[in-house]
Amino acid sequence: MLEDIRPTRKDFVHDLVCEAGLDVSDWANSKRGAAGARTNPKYCYEWVFVEPGKAIVLNLWHVLLEEEPDGRIVHRGNFRKDADIQFARGRGNPWGRRARKMDDALALAHREGLAIRVILNAGNRRDRDDPEAKASQVTLRELDPERWTLTSYDVATGAHVLVRGVGGSPFIDQFTLSESIGADEVRRREQAGLVYVRDPRVRSAALSRAAGCCEYCGIPGFVRTDGAIYLETHHIIPLHEGGPDTVANVICLCPNHHREAHFGANAARLREDFLSGASAMPGHAMIERRA
């Protein structure tokens, strides 16, 4: 429950970032050397820490977390909007700068699938909407032992949803790495030519069916740093040829067979195999072959 994860002690930020698995060796580059690593002002007042290719660590206020009816604990917010508000009020430093760095970190985590760890804070939180409010005061601080999942990130606006634990699907495809668009049905839009937008629900259902293995050769997809298994979704009859955006017309492939299906000398034969249901996954639905 939400109250169960409220911090009960105040640990050093340095120790928590280290506990989360990030490299803190540079913290010792202070006037006091290693003895001053814990209180190095270059780092200890920051609210987000990033190790490219590995993980990010965010500081979040416990009071801003919500408990869903299904028991999930979530954080909904928009650090980019927070930054814009602070800069508009002439308070870009430090509050606006911190919020902007947090948005940059979420954008990176979204783009590269980085692991996300959260330091939970409690104390006297400054009211963002009060321009005269004094600085916040953290009285309690602990690292949440659970990893968090970025289940939603709007690239255009910065709005996000973070879920404690594995909040999203354990399977992802190439389109998950870009901004997902919650379309009710496949639609086309103009952007330097026609771009076909896939329904994320169709892709999600196909990925769940494949259960992490290429539906043609049976080879497991690779595991990303966030724990999700990566495969690539492929429309057997392409959308630009009038193929439907349905689960039956989508097959999940390893990157090699997906590239071959598009560019290989055997692309036509692969499509024939896909249409006939010649896949490694017995649960793969076949679609009616078109002339």
Q: Hey, what amino acid is at 19?
A: E
pLDDT for 286: 41
Rounded mean pLDDT, 20-44? 90
In our burial notation (b when 16+ CB lie closer than 10 A, e otherwise), range 85-106 reads bbbeeeebeebbbbbbbbbbbb
Q: Read off the pLDDT of residues 91-116 as tens digits, 9 standing for 90 and up.
A: 777 888 999 999 999 999 988 888 89
Helices (H) and strands (E) in the chain, counts: 6, 15
Average the pLDDT over 1-12 and give the result: 93
pLDDT band at 62 (very low <50, low <70, confident <90, very high): very high
State the fold for domain 171-276: DNA Binding (I), subunit A (1.10.30)
Name the segment(s) of the chain with CATH classification 1.10.30. 171-276
Number of C-beta neighbours around residue 139 at 10 A = 11
Q: Quickly tell me which residue has 């006939």 as its tokens.
A: 276
pTM exceeding 0.75: no
Structure tokens at 93: 């430093």
Q: How far apart are CA 191 and CA 40, in angstroms?
A: 47
Q: Which pLDDT belongs to residue 283?
A: 42
Enumerate the β-bridge partners of residue 38: none
Q: Can you give the pLDDT at residue 181? A: 37
